[in-house]
Amino acid sequence: MNSTFSEYADLKGPYGFMHSPVAPPVNITPKPSFFPSMSDGMVSLIAPVVAYWGFSMMFHIVDTFELAEKYRIHPSEEVKSRNRAGRVEVFCEVIFQHIIQTTAGFLFLCLDAEPTTGFEQKTLWTWRQMLPAAIPDFAIYYFYMYGISAIKLLAGFLVIDTWQYFWHRLMHLNKELYKRYHSRHHRLYVPYAYGALYNAPVEGFLLDTLGTGVAMVVTQMTHREQAILFTFATMKTVDDHCGYALPWDPFQLIFPNNAVYHDIHHQNFGIKTNFCQPFFTFWDSFFHTNFAGFEEYQHSQRRVTIDRYKVFLKERKEMARKGINTAYHPKRKQY
């Protein structure tokens, strides 16, 4: 039977096995790692940490040498004058969170079954028998090999956004939770890149570590898919706190939730709004918790420009000086 399948597949090209009169044999073996010297599971633990510090240091260099001052959201002197946490404290807290995150991830990894391969051709053969002949072989092949992974990643984005929105909002609505945990993150009124994960350890574990863990379990991701999701989400979070509205930044171009959107949440006038993070803004829109001053502007322009935002900040400071409530929203309950 195996020789019949092999002979038929060889004669029909790269997708010939899908049309074999007999099913391809299944020979389950351990799946080779992408990097020979390290398992895919270990890569999923290490890559996000490396990406966090590598990406953060890029922005730190931009800060230090003032390479993009025209795109800076806040003047550089406000980092010292307004923030209530020093850079050394922030650095140590983030290192501690990475230790917790990596340890929890390693425990999850120990519970995972060893990745295997050898069943893919049989699955593709089965799909080919069930699907209409109008669907070309290559479409079935590439959807199975890469399309499913893309859908899992998108689903992971949605799970993380949902998890973080409701926990984040609860941290603000509950005074005890805010005082005990989330207020630490808001010591940074002027965010910067490597302060993205500056959180109380309990909050960091609940929102970030468990959030990505839930996404991983719900979507049944492979270790390679986990590595992509964790690394991408980490870089997006760093970018949201980078302190710059860069016109060529792909994260800020693609996603409506960007550095300016999240910066509003770090200001006194917007602290009870813009809870969504890190990818989309649909939960804020659905529950009317997006900041009122930008709703009309965001509707007509997907990305807020830095010039408009600086004008906005100046207007808000002037209104606050005059005692005008800058956080009023007619559809939203005032907390």
pTM: 0.88
* b (16+ CB within 10 A) / e for 140-165: bbebeeeeebeebbebbbebbbbbbb
Q: Is the pLDDT of residue 335 over 60?
A: no
Q: How far is CA 1 from CA 14, 24, 125, 212, in A?
A: 20, 9, 15, 44
Q: What is the mean pLDDT of the chain?
A: 89
* b (16+ CB within 10 A) / e for 253-285: eebbbbbbbbbbbbbebbbbbbbbbbbbbbbbe
Interval 40-80: pLDDT, tens: 999 999 999 999 999 999 999 999 998 998 889 888 888 88
Q: Is the pLDDT of residue 18 over 60?
A: yes
**CA quadruple 294, 312, 90, 58: dihedral sign:** positive
Other C-beta atoms within 10 Å of 67: how many?
Answer: 11
d(CA 258, CA 237): 9
Interval 262-304: pLDDT, tens: 999 999 888 999 999 999 999 999 999 998 876 554 444 445 6
Interval 310-334: pLDDT, tens: 887 888 888 888 877 665 444 544 4
Interval 76-116: pLDDT, tens: 888 889 999 999 999 999 999 999 999 999 999 999 999 99
The most distant pair of C-alpha atoms in the chain lies apart, rounded to whole Å, by 85
Residues making up the chain, counted from first to last: 335
> Helix (H, G, I), strand (E, B), or coil: what is residue 159?
helix
Structure token digits, residue 117: 């391969």
User: Is residue 298 a contact partner of residue 276, using CB atoms and an 8 Å limit?
Assistant: no
d(CA 5, CA 138): 19
Range with lowest mean pLDDT among 11-20, 94-103, 167-176, 292-301: 292-301
